[in-house]
A and B are shown apart, each in its own frame.
Chain A
Amino acid sequence: MPGRPVSLLLIGSLRSQRPSLRLPLAASTVAAGFPSPADDYIDVGIDLNEALIRHPSSTFFLRVSGDSMIDAGIQHGDLLVVDRSLEPRPGLIVVAVLDGAFTLKRLVRYHGRLRLEAANSAYPPLELHQCGDVQIWGVAIHVIHALTRHG
């Protein structure tokens, strides 16, 4: 289709490529006035990834669905940060593989036996020795809860 213009989304027409010769003159800015007293104290800012995640290559994000962990401060729709490299120990909140799904529970030692507990009295605990094949997929290390709809 010769002659038909290419239509582009979002972007204005490209300037014609005139091979103009431009010679940069003084490229550096000249410092005028007083230097900022904060110049020597500039920090790079806060990187939440760096602050929250110790093992980036084994850390994954999951989305929480349901209210069974509500008393542990984990709500429906929250973003869960899970580190798979940590050893699951009693007391930790873990992601377990149960019936082919990721399930969020607290690992608890109860009367000498391990079990998975919800943080909501409406859900009964699961005795590990009774659930057959349970695999602990990872340990939840943070939960990120949005306080506004746009969070």
Chain B
Amino acid sequence: MADVLALIDANNFYASCEQAFDPALIGRPVVVLSNNDGCVVSRSSEARQLGIGMGKPYFQIAAQLAQHGVVVRSSNYALYGDMSQRLMSSLEPFVAELEVYSIDEAFARLPRPRHGDLSAWAAELRSRIRHNLGLPIAIGLASSKVLAKLANRIAKGDRRHAGVFDLGREANPDPWLELTPVEEIWGVGRQLGRWCRLRGIANARQLRDMASGELRAKAGVVGLRLQLELQGVSCLPLEQAPSAKRETCVSRSFSRAILSEQELRQAVATYVVRAAEKLRRQQQCSGRLTVFARTSPFSPGFYSQAASTALAVASNDTAVLLQAALPLVAVIYRPHKRFAKAGVLMQELQSQEQLQHHLLAPLPEQEQQRRAALMQSIDGLNRRYGRGTVQWAACGIAPGWMMRREQLSRAATTRLSDLPTAWAR
């Protein structure tokens, strides 16, 4: 029998993680806010039932949330990242191949048993993840990735499916495809969605059956592949090993507008420090870096500027990257502009190993090793005792523009000082 493709994802992942480590939240409505406590990015099922909308700005609904006793949390990426790794490694023994697609979803391939029925397998997987990690998951099964994603949406959409839907077992998939609006198909962007609507194509069944010549003229090979996938022909392979990143970006919105060059420097320095940390974790070095900043696009006098520089030798040493990045701040800074966001982009990434024996190395090899050890120690301290334990002075001390995370829960699975309490009383 042919293989099955599965899309497995955690329901309300961020809110579920919060509930898993704070038993006071079990059964209560919980919402998690985006960076800067901006808008709602995750809702527990209890919060969903209260009719709290996804993506709603927090300040607009704060009163409504308080009135319903909704627990509000800032995004706790330390916790979600750790739980994501635990989730993915727990899925592995259940499938033949796994592609981690995002923090809370994975594609998988597994053989279909002779009798065809995977419901026992799915039930076992769901109960295992629920039991071991406290996370509810949904599983969509079909013969292609696009259909697996569509099946997952059906699994979650209707309680009667109990979190599992196997499109491959349906004698006639058409009614299910008709249930899926064209914009909700994986791979259909806003533009293609609009184009489809204009042609009267409203759902997945219609897209599957439309003349392929027309689709090809609009969306090329990508469109044809999408159509084949909808027909159940698997054309998108599983990507098991994530390809090495070619760029790394760190950017954030500020909690309030930044007017002074000094504060903009501090912000950029903070993002450089973060990006350097990421590079070291990825064992990569950056050959070029770009610094950018902009004002709010919703205010008059919109201003956006970027500046870029090449490094003599690619590096992931925070001091080297800071030295390269900070002079660029003076280039992009304009007085009287109210900066709302800034970031750094690390480009031309190369693997650290390739660089180790570079003949043009700016520092003697011994000195290089000493600096690498220093960076390692700083990363180790910050990992162990929390980010910012060892701080670069260029980042400023307790800056006022720092991301707002006022309702942050603890790093319950990754930091010794933040462990949940087991009461012996």
Contact = CB atoms under 8 A, between A and B. Distances in A.
Interface in B315-365: 319-320, 322-323, 326-327, 330, 357, 359-365
A95 B421 CA distance: 10
Contacts of B421: 62-65, 101-102
Given A58-B86, A58-B132, A24 B422 contact: no
A107 interface: no
A104 B132 contact: no
B312 A102 contact: no
A2 B329 CA distance: 10
A65 B12 CA distance: 31
Interface range, A side: 35 or more
A108 B134 CA distance: 24
Nearest to B363: A15
B420 A1 contact: no
B319 A14 contact: yes
Interface stretch (B32-40, B204-212, B248-256, B387-395): B387-395
Given A2-B330, A95-B422, A103-B422, A8 B393 contact: yes
- The 10 nearest A-B residue pairs measured at CB: A66-B424, A58-B132, A100-B24, A66-B425, A62-B422, A68-B424, A17-B362, A57-B86, A97-B23, A63-B419
Contact of A1 (B262, B313, B361, B365): B262
Interface in A51-97: 55-58, 60-70, 74, 76, 79-80, 82, 84-85, 95, 97
B159 interface: no
Contact of A103 (B128, B262, B423): B423
Interface string A15-34: 10111111110000000000
A65 B421 CA distance: 6
Contacts of A22: 359, 361, 364-365
Given A17-B312, A62-B422, 9 more contacts: A2-B330, A8-B319, A10-B390, A15-B363, A20-B362, A55-B132, A63-B421, A66-B424, A76-B424
12 contacts: A1-B265, A8-B392, A9-B392, A9-B393, A11-B319, A17-B313, A17-B320, A18-B362, A20-B364, A70-B424, A85-B131, A101-B24
B390 A9 contact: yes
A85 B132 contact: yes
B133 A84 contact: yes
A68 B393 contact: no
A69 B392 CA distance: 44
B94 to A, nearest CB: 12
B413 A60 contact: yes
A65 B374 CA distance: 37
Interface of A: 1-2, 6-11, 14-15, 17-24, 55-58, 60-70, 74, 76, 79-80, 82, 84-85, 95, 97, 100-104, 118, 123, 135, 137, 140
Contacts of A8: 319, 322, 392-394
A84 B419 contact: no
B357 to A, nearest CB: 7
Interface string B356-383: 0101111111010000001000100000
A63 B362 contact: no
Given A8-B393, A24-B357, A100-B26, A62 B420 contact: yes
Contacts of B132: 55, 57-58, 84-85
Nearest to A140: B422
B47 to A, nearest CB: 17
A118 B424 contact: yes
A134 to B, nearest CB: 11
Contact of B423 (A21, A55, A79, A101): A101
B90 interface: yes
Contacts of B131: 84-85
Contacts of B416: 61, 79
B89 interface: yes
A84 B359 CA distance: 52
B362 A6 contact: no
A31 B359 CA distance: 26
